[in-house]
Amino acid sequence: MVATSALADPKDGRSSLVAAAAQCTTIAQAAERLACYDKAVNALLSAEQKREVIVIDRAQVRQTRKALFGLNLPNFGLFGDATDRNSPDAVTQIETTLTKAEMNGGAWLFILADGARWRQTDDNILGGRPRVGDKVVIRRGALGSFKLSLAGQPAIKVRREN
């Protein structure tokens, strides 16, 4: 995946740098085609060095989606359609461990291994007290909600704070 700023072609969302490289495939003569590719690749590498373009692979997209899981962000389309649960890069749940839990104002605040903070939004009671190191599973629910299951207990509703 290539993300660009001012170098995007508004018609199809493709970077003009990628479009230039793709155009080289239409050149029949080998030497001209090679010269075209050399020019296109050099332009792409130059833009990457200037941070005008960033090239990321599918694993990086998935890693970023996982890190952003639960945050209420606008869909910029940089990592595909974040609302498409059928996308191969869709993150519908995360599994991690608990590093801290505290009761605050009648609701639990959970801090996870990645530093994410999730606050309880319903009034359900946990069956057991949360412990550091407990397994945490957070699933995407209906209508933008999230459910957290702690150490195999029934899930409670939560929202991400950071």
Three-state secondary structure of 58-76:
HHHHHHHHHHHCCCCCCCC
Strands 2-4 and 107-112: unpaired
Identify the architecture of domain 93-160 in CATH.
Answer: Beta Barrel (2.40)
Residue 124 to residue 147: CA distance in whole angstroms: 12
pTM greater than 0.85: no
Please report the pLDDT score of residue 29 as a whole number. 95
Q: pLDDT 10s per residue in the chain (162 long)? A: 444 444 444 456 678 888 999 999 999 999 999 999 999 999 999 998 999 888 888 888 888 878 888 777 666 666 655 555 566 667 888 999 999 999 988 899 999 999 999 999 999 999 889 999 999 999 998 888 999 999 889 999 999 998
Instruction: Please state, in angstroms and as integers, the Cα–Cα distance from residue 160 to each residue in 56, 66, 72, 115, following that order.
Output: 26, 13, 8, 11
Please report the pLDDT score of residue 156 as a whole number. 94
Q: Which two tokens stand for residue 88?
A: 């191969």
Q: Which residues of the chain form CATH 2.40.50?
A: 93-160
